[in-house]
Amino acid sequence: MKKNKRSVARPILALVIIIIIIAVAGILVWKFYPKNSEVGKPVYAPKGQLTPQFPKELILDTTVAVNNSYAINYSPTLNQYTAEYDSSNTVKALFADYQSYLSKNGWTITSTLTTRPMFDALNATKGTEQLQVVVSTRDKGSHIIITVVVK
């Protein structure tokens, strides 16, 4: 009789242990998983302004108004900051300005795309920051999109 009780108690004990492990794992996931519904969604700055985290020095033409700026929080260690503006300068002139500025300010240009008739683009890195600049043709000048990803 004792042997039979032990053979029944072991599976029940194993089942109780498995249930406890699953419950603890569920509590940990619930506690540490981001609850913020804004994760991965853009948070826009007021019209004409940059998000506070966007590096203002990357807007090389200080006479222009910002069309659009937003931040995206992907995780506590991964964030994106984007800004867009229009300029009366040409694509080639702005692209040259960005190449010069970035090279002189500690950025390493990792790739460029200058063979397209309507836009030029570059990627650069500096520490944990990754940068992409796209300069495209507009009716009277250029449209610039700058994205900084901070890890």
The model's pLDDT over 43-83, given as tens digits with 9 standing for 90+, comes to 999 999 999 999 999 999 888 989 999 999 988 889 999 99
Strands (E), the chain: 42-44, 66-75, 78-87, 108-113, 119-126, 129-138, 141-150
Q: Are 150 and 78 in contact (CB under 8 A)?
A: yes
Looking at residue 95, its pLDDT comes to 93
Question: Where do the structural domains in the chain lie, given as residue ranges?
Answer: 1-33, 42-150
Could you tell me the two tokens for 9? 């108690």
Q: What is the pLDDT of residues 73-115, one digit of tens each?
A: 988 889 999 999 999 999 999 999 999 999 999 999 999 998 8
Query: CATH number for the 42-150 domain, one of 3.30.310, 1.20.120, 3.30.70, 3.10.450?
Result: 3.30.310
Q: Of 66, 63, 79, nearest to 150 (Cα)?
A: 79
Structural contact between residues 88 and 141, judged by C-beta atoms closer than 8 angstroms: yes
Looking at residue 37, its amino acid is S
- Supply 30's token pair: 């619930």
* Among 84, 81, 79, residue whose Cα is nearest residue 54: 81
Q: What is the band of 147 on the pLDDT scale with cuts at 50, 70, 90? A: very high
